[in-house]
Amino acid sequence: MLRHRLLAALVTLAPALVQAQEDPPLALRGMGSFHVGGREAVVADKPVREVLLVPGGVPARIDANGPYQVEAMYVQYHLPAAERGRVPLLLWHGGGLTGVTWESTPDGREGWQQYFLRRGWATYVSDAVERGRAGWAMYPEIFAGEPVFLTKADPWERFRIGAGPGSYRTRTALPGTQFPIEAYDDFMRQVVPRWTTTDAAQLAAYRALLRRAGPAVVLAHSQGGMFATRAAQAEPAQVRALVLVEPAGFGEATPEALAALRGIPVLALYGDFIEQDGRWPAIRQRGLDFYAKLRAAGGSVDVVALPERGIMGNSHMMMMDRNNRAVAQVVQDWLAARGLWR
C-alpha cells in the first residue's frame, strides 16, 4: 500500500520535477521591500474611547484625532543574480486583489514572478493603495465611501471561470477552462476589499513607484491596466513598454495624452470564452477602440487573442491558469523582440 502511495506521489510530482529541470535556476543577488507614495491626512472631532486591546489587559485610551500617514503602496522586489532584462519588470494587480496574483497559483505552482525572475528580470510586485500590506485608512473620514467586498460567486462568474450567471451555485465551470477549479477556494482566500473612490491615490502611488524603480516595463492586469496607461502618460520617460493583461480600463484619449505613449510599445492579451460572456465583448471593444486611437496617434500596439495562437481555455486570471507558462512565454517573446531582454 505504501509503495502504491509513493508511486502515485511521484507521478503527481513528475511534471513539477520536469519543469524544475527545464527552468533556468532561481538565483538572486538581492531582495527586499519598501513603501512608496502616500500623504498625511488629519482626522478631527472623533470621540476618545477606552478599548481593551488584549483580553484580560488594561484598557487603552484611544484618541483617533490627529495626523495619519495614508495612501502608500507596498512593493517587494527581487533582483536576479544574472540580470537579462534591460530594465526592471513591474507587476501590477487587478481590482480586489494584491501582489499575490503574481507570486504563485492557487494550486501551488510557480507564478509569473518566478517565471520572469528565472529569465533574468528584476521584478517589483506591489500591493496597491488600500490592498494587502499597503493597508487602508478610516472611512469615510479619509477614504470616501465604503469598501466593496466580493462573494465567492462573483469571480467565478465574472472572471470567465464558471459558465455564466448562476453557475457558482452548481460549480459548473466553462468546458475546457484552464483555471484550477479544485483550488478555487484558495483563490478566494486572497481576494480583498476594494474602494471605488481611491483611483487618484493609487495613480499617485504608481507614479511614485515609477520614479523610484523606473525606467521599467509595466505588466498590469485588469484594473491595473488603467493605472498602467495613465501612469505611462504621466511619466513616459519611466516606461519602456506596457503589457496589459485583459485591461478593464485605459488612459486618457486626448491627442496630448495619446502622444505621450507614442514611444512606448503596448502588448494587450485576451483569453478565451470572451464571445460567450455577457460583459467581456464590451470590455474588450473599449480596449480595441483605445488601441485604434493610439495607433492613429502614432503608437505601437499588438493585440493578441490567445485562442488564435492555439492557447486555449484561459480565464481572466490567465497568470494562474494551468497553461500560465505558455501565456508568459508570449509576453517574454514579445519583450525580447523589442530589445528589452538580452
Q: Structural domains in the chain? A: 25-337 (3.40.50.1820)
Q: How far apart are CA 48 and CA 33, in angstroms?
A: 35
pLDDT of residue 56: 87
CA-to-CA distance for 265 and 243, rounded, in angstroms? 9
> Would you write out the chain's pLDDT as a tens digit for each of its 342 residues?
444 444 344 334 444 444 545 788 999 999 999 999 999 999 999 999 999 889 988 999 999 999 999 999 999 999 999 999 999 999 999 999 999 999 999 999 999 999 999 999 999 999 999 999 999 999 999 999 999 999 999 999 999 999 999 999 999 999 999 999 999 999 999 999 999 999 999 999 999 999 999 999 999 999 999 999 999 999 999 999 999 999 999 999 999 999 999 999 999 999 999 999 999 999 999 999 999 999 999 999 999 999 999 999 999 999 999 999 999 999 999 999 999 999
157 sits in which H/E element: helix 153-158
Output the pLDDT for position 134.
96
pLDDT of residue 14: 44
What's the Cα-to-Cα distance from 156 to each of 64, 193, 196, 317, rounded to whole Å? Answer: 39, 16, 21, 11
What separation in angstroms does the CA of 256 have from each of 51, 237, 244? Answer: 53, 15, 21
pLDDT at 144: 93
Q: Quote the CA–CA distance of 104 and 190 in Å, as a whole number.
A: 11
Q: What is the pLDDT of residue 21?
A: 52
Closest of 139, 117, 273 to residue 193, by C-alpha: 139
Cα–Cα dist 227/113, whole Å: 20
| Cell numbers 481590482: residue | 95
- Residue 108's φ and ψ, nearest 5 degrees, are 95, 5
For residues 155 and 122, the answer to whether their CB atoms sit within 8 Å is no
Q: Which residues of 123-138 are buried (b: 16+ CB within 10 A; e: fewer)?
A: bbbbbbbbbbebbbbe
